[in-house]
Amino acid sequence: MRSERPRLSVIGTGYLGATHAVCMVELGYDVIGLDIDEAKIERLRAGEIPFFEPGLPELLAKHIDGGRLRFTTSYPEVAEFADVHFVCVGTPQRKGELAADMTYVDAAFSSLAPHLTRKVLVVGKSTVPAGTAARMESLLLDLAPNKDVELAWNPEFLREGFAVEDTLRPDRLVFGVHSAWAEQQLRAAFAPVLETGTPAVVTDFATAELVKVAANSFLATKISFINAMAEVCEVTGADVTKLAEAIGHDARIGRRFLNAGLGFGGGCLPKDIRAFIARAGELGVDQAVSFLREVDEINLRRRVRTVEIGLDLVDGSYHGTHVAVLGAAFKPNSDDVRDSPALDVAASIGRRGGTVVIYDPHAMQNARRMHPELTYVESLIEAVTGADVIMLLTEWDEFRAMSPERIGALVAHRNLVDGRNVLDPVQWRAAGWLYRALGRP
């Protein structure tokens, strides 16, 4: 006999899908996860998460043998089991273009639809261009044997490093629906979350699609704004950290995301704003988001500037220098190196003749796959020993806590580029370091 709660499927078990599947079981649902990658499914069945996300391995271990979570490669099995299907596949940037690659979304809907023989709700969670939901709705109606199948769109707002918390206790839920029944099903699928008072914004497909890209565009703009101010600070002698502190006290602006430094990266913000630019152009409203091109350019300029600052510390040439790069992931508490500013800077220095030695607490394997030409070591101490310059490029707690005296005893020269503005320049300079940062005197 079925429980009152709907049974759920999650299509795609990458970062979003695996997190969603495991967390929904933690909330009390019966869940089946599907992926066409058999190796990934086998790892999940064995209780292994194929990426680093704090707290998620423990939740998977807690539930994998409990009977409420299983993984499969079979669409018929998923269709028979679930009442609500969450499509959580990726939408990467197309090679050589700004637009999003919709191959995985199209394939997921096309593969699931022919097996839907009863009325169910299919929910898109992937970040997609405006108009995708309407297209997927038509596809479902064309391919599903049961024509009462409905679609909803429920964008995700996960922050890497905090994905478990963001799934279990989100700050809002967005339901893009076309019927009261679809809304009711979504409310049933998120009942434990809604019972805690989490607000639900119920809207149409187009608005639900735009929420995620609009939110990411705003965050990217705020980050690039303070980095643009850092460029001004560098030529005026001002301190961007104090500037951010001062304007952050204005309640209309707020202090969050006003952290000047190397800029943003990862698998979401860069590709989402680029896809938004591309889709706006297709819709004839490219001027409305033309500012996002400059947001992207400012972000990329920070990487170039970081390389230049390091160059100043090694007498204008990286040839023959040992450069210790601290961090490879695009942010701390993640092993994601997609569009990582840290890894981009490291590779650029390597191309200029520097001997780049990288250490990251969790992203080494992914970084090595992307840039095998660089050198990787297993500890902070190994990375900095004999270094001519240290570049702190991902703000892991281990790097924030470094002792300038202890590290100073290991390096060849006390040169430091603080690419994230997280160290105390007074403390480091007092220990004899030549300290440089973005947007600070």
Q: What is the pLDDT along the chain (441 residues), one digit of tens a residue?
A: 344 799 999 999 999 999 999 999 999 999 999 999 999 999 999 999 999 999 999 999 999 989 999 999 999 999 999 999 999 999 999 999 999 999 999 999 999 999 999 999 999 999 999 999 999 999 999 999 999 999 999 999 999 999 999 999 999 999 999 999 999 999 999 999 999 999 999 999 999 999 999 999 999 999 999 999 999 999 999 999 999 999 999 999 999 999 999 999 999 999 999 999 999 999 999 999 999 999 999 999 999 999 999 999 999 999 999 999 999 999 999 999 999 999 999 999 999 999 999 999 999 999 999 999 999 999 999 999 999 999 999 999 999 999 999 999 999 999 999 999 999 999 999 999 999 999 999
Residue 121: closest CA among 182, 174, 48: 182
What distance in Å separates the CA atoms of residue 269 and residue 274, rounded to the nearest whole number?
9
Token pair recorded at residue 191 = 């009942």
Q: Are residues 282 and 187 in the same domain?
A: no
Q: Are residues 224 and 320 in the same domain?
A: yes
The confidence score (pLDDT) of residue 315 equals 93
Q: Are residues 41 and 116 in the same domain?
A: yes
Helix, strand or coil, per DSSP, at residue 46: coil
Q: Are residues 186 and 258 in the same domain?
A: no
Q: Is residue 212, in this structure, part of any structural domain at all?
A: no
Number of domains in the chain: 2
Dihedral angle sign, alpha carbons of residues 158, 161, 166, 172: negative
Dihedral angle sign, alpha carbons of residues 358, 364, 366, 368: positive
pLDDT tens digits, 335-387: 999 999 999 999 999 999 999 999 999 999 999 999 999 999 999 999 999 99
The confidence score (pLDDT) of residue 3 equals 46
Classify 197 in phi/psi space as left (phi over 0), alpha (psi -120 to 50) or beta. left
Q: Is residue 355, in this structure, part of any structural domain at all?
A: yes
Q: Are residues 295 and 150 in the same domain?
A: no
What distance in Å separates the CA atoms of residue 294 and residue 300, rounded to the nearest whole number?
10
pLDDT tens digits, 51-80: 999 999 999 999 998 999 999 999 999 999
Q: Are residues 101 and 155 in the same domain?
A: yes
What distance in Å separates the CA atoms of residue 433 and residue 406, rounded to the nearest whole number?
12
The confidence score (pLDDT) of residue 4 equals 78
Q: 268 catalytic, yes or no?
A: yes
The confidence score (pLDDT) of residue 211 equals 97
Give the range of the structural domain holding residue 328, as residue numbers without chain letter. Answer: 218-437
Q: Is residue 1, in this structure, part of any structural domain at all?
A: no
Residue 392's DSSP bridge partners are 326, 418
Q: Are residues 171 and 316 in the same domain?
A: no
Q: Are residues 196 and 309 in the same domain?
A: no
Q: The pTM is what?
A: 0.92
Q: Are residues 290 and 237 in the same domain?
A: yes
Dihedral angle sign, alpha carbons of residues 67, 73, 77, 81: positive
- Decide if 272 contacts 213 (C-beta within 8 A): yes
| CATH classification of the domain holding 138 | 3.40.50.720
Q: Are residues 154 and 261 in the same domain?
A: no
User: Which of the residues 23, 88, 233, 268 is marked catalytic?
Assistant: 268
pLDDT tens digits, 193-234: 999 999 999 999 999 999 999 999 999 999 999 999 999 999
Q: Are residues 230 and 186 in the same domain?
A: no
State the DSSP string of 290-340. THHHHHHHHHHHHHHHHHHHHHHHTTT--TT-EEEEE--SSSSS----TT-
Backbone angles phi, psi at 42, to 5 degrees: -60, -40
What distance in Å separates the CA atoms of residue 171 and residue 186, rounded to the nearest whole number?
16
- Out of 174, 203, 232, pick the residue that ends a domain: 203
Q: Are residues 289 and 419 in the same domain?
A: yes
Residue 179: DSSP 8-state = S
Which amino acid, residue 69? L
